[in-house]
Each structure stands twice: as structure tokens, then as C-alpha cells.
Amino acid sequence: MNIQETIQKRRSVRTYTGEALKEEQIAAITNFIAGLQPLYNTKVRIEMLSVFMDNQPIKLGTYGKIAGAKNFLALIYENAPFAEEAAGYQFEQVILFCTELGLGTCWLGSAYNPKDFKKQIQLAENETLAIVSPVGYAAEKQRFLERLVNVDKFHCTRKPFSELFFNQTFDTPLTEETAGIYAAPLSMLRLAPSGHNRQEWRVVKDNRILHFYKTPSPTATIDIGIALCHFVETCKELNINGKLEFLEKSSNDNLQYVVSWSN
């Protein structure tokens, strides 16, 4: 798939047609998930769930936030260093694949009933259910709640490039011109979804190395994983060589160092 086109096409869908996914789409998604390579050997799994099992209805509650969805994706990770970031990265890969298939999705970090989903997943002792997302056919007509969210600038706008990315230090904003070959990957990172659209990540370009930071917010760890997915996958598409690695970088009360990209 064309990552940049897919990233720009992706949107949160909260109202679905009520039609279950076709078997070939379920197979395509399942096969894609099976082929994913985890970051740093972290243990992440993504389960496909249905509101029907053996023709019997199953309750998967989303507190009225989602309507008409018959299939869901559930993100589970084994607690370990960098596991939550890696989980966010991997789940966004699946979200983008579903977008490429023409399907709607919506990240849900809290607007679902975890008890309903845990009954279908069987978590191990060291596992956490982090995120769920409906996956299906977007309804042509949106509900009032969805229309309200889509016109709310708080949910759909993004901070300017120069407020998210910096050159050498946090005192000097980075521009698309000074970003060089990383202008497109950072622009795609800027479009990454985040909890309540807070965009709680920042990047400092230090010559050929880019350092990624996040705020101390509870939602920021998953969000930085999503952002890394947009950045790294765009670099791959543009044949920009590099790798993620952990360096000795300082943090402060407002921003915590996560990882670096070097080439």
C-alpha cells in the first residue's frame, strides 16, 4: 500500500452499516497481522472479535460511542520495557492496512467495556488489554454525535509543524525546509491520531539523528508508538535508511525521552 496516501485517507469512523466483514477480508487482516514483526522482540498480539459466536450474540459494549459495528480488533501486549510503544506501532500498522482495504476503524482507549472484551480474549497474567477498534463498513449517514465530533476543531486539527518538531534544541523550531529528507515522514507523523488529539509527542532533529519525546500523560505512550509507525513506515516507503535505537538522552518534567532514529 501507499503509506502516505493511506495515512491521509484514514479517519475515525464511529457509525457502521451493521454488516459483518466478509470472510476474505477477515482472512486478509488475519494474515497481515500474522506477518507483522514486533519491535525489539516485544510480545504483542492483535485479536479479531465478532459480536456473534456460533450464531449467538456476544455483548461488546462501547457506551454508545460506536454504532453498527459487528467486528472489532483488540490490542494486547505483555508488560515489558517499550512494549506499550511497540503495541501502538503495530496496531496502527493494522489500522492502516484496514484503511487500505476500504474499511473504517476508530481507536478506543477507554470508550469500551473492558469486561466484555476480556471475556473473549483470555488474558495471561502478564498481559494488558490496551486498545480496541471497530472495523467494518462506514455508514453513509453519520449520527449526530459523529457529526458533532467531526466539526469540532479540537478533535480534527493538528498543531503546526514548528510546534511539534525542533532543530538541535527545543528553543529552535524545525521547518519543513530545514527538515530536509525528513519533511515528509514528519508531516505524516503530524497526522498520527492521539488520545483526545493532544499530540503529546515532540521530535528534535540533531543533524542526522532524530530524538523522539513524549509527555508524562498516561495516553502518550501508546500515542508515541502510533507516531513512530507513521514516521518509520514513511521512511521505508521513501527509501530513507535508518533504525530506531535507544541513546543516552535526558528527560525533564514536561518531556520524556523515548527513542532515536539514526542513519
Q: What is the pLDDT of residue 110?
A: 87
Domains 3-146 and 158-262 share a fold: yes
- pLDDT above 70 as % of the chain: 93
Q: Taking the domains of the chain in order of start, what are their residue ranges?
A: 3-146, 158-262
| Model pLDDT for residues 26-66, shown as the tens digit of each residue | 999 999 999 999 899 999 999 999 998 666 678 899 988 89
Q: Which CATH superfamily includes the segment(s) 158-262?
A: putative nitroreductase (tm1586), domain 2 (3.40.109.30)
Q: What is the pLDDT of residue 147?
A: 52
Q: The domain at 3-146 falls in which architecture?
A: 3-Layer(aba) Sandwich (3.40)
Contacts (Cβ under 8 Å, ≥6 apart) of 27? none
Of the two residues 229 and 216, the one the predictor is more confident about is 229
Q: Could you tell me if residue 32 is left (phi over 0), alpha (psi between -120 and 50 degrees) or otherwise beta?
A: alpha
Of the two residues 226 and 250, the one the predictor is more confident about is 226
| Model pLDDT for residues 253-263, shown as the tens digit of each residue | 899 999 999 98
Q: What is the pLDDT of residue 260?
A: 97
| Model pLDDT for residues 126-170, shown as the tens digit of each residue | 999 999 999 999 998 765 555 544 544 444 689 999 999 999 999
| Model pLDDT for residues 86-137, shown as the tens digit of each residue | 999 999 999 999 999 999 999 999 889 999 999 999 899 999 999 999 999 9
Q: What is the pLDDT of residue 93?
A: 98
Long-range contacts of 20-27 (CB under 8 A, 24+ apart): 20/50, 20/52, 20/70, 20/71, 20/136, 21/70, 21/71, 21/103, 21/135, 21/136, 25/101, 25/103, 26/71
pLDDT surpasses 50 at 18:
yes
- Give the number of other Cβ atoms within 10 Å of residue 49's Cβ: 19
Q: How far is CA 182 from CA 134, 240, 256, 258, 262, in A?
A: 32, 9, 22, 19, 12
